[in-house]
Amino acid sequence: MSQHSELELCVGQLEQRLGSLGEALRLHHADAVESEAAALQRALVAAVDQLRHGARAGRLPASLRQRLALASAQVVTQREALARASAALDRAIEVLLPSATPRSAYSAAGLSERPARPGMLQA
């Protein structure tokens, strides 16, 4: 099998894994998200290995570069969607299960940095 066909196969697997992970995220299926994320990591390792070999052997075809750029954009999109879903879940949990101690200061994540003390003036 030629270097370019092996790389195309790896990129195809990477695209398939990204699609499967996107579908699992869309369906909010936690077990599938976990297994697809692991499969995506394996596909990424294989693709990076093939890219290293391909870079040594010569220039990558424009079609493969374009497919890799699209895959990279999908990863960014899925990462942002996951971050938004995680933040929404954190807010929902905070509403349903508020902290037992009142908050007097907040960190960058919005969590209390120090507990309120008696006799302390609070705004």
User: Dihedral (C-alpha) 27, 32, 34, 40: value to the nearest 10 degrees?
Assistant: -100
Give the count of beta carbons closer than 10 Å to the beta carbon of residue 93.
10
Distance CA 37, CA 22 (A): 10
Distance CA 46, CA 29 (A): 26
Taking a C-beta distance cutoff of 8 angstroms, is the pair 54, 4 a contact?
yes
Task: Please report, rounded to a whole number, the percentage of residues in the chain having pLDDT higher than 70.
Answer: 76
* pTM of the full structure: 0.65
pLDDT tens digits, one per residue of 26-72:
898 889 989 998 999 999 898 888 888 777 777 778 888 899 889 88
Which conformational region is residue 119 in: left (phi greater than 0), alpha (psi within -120 to 50 degrees), or beta?
A: left
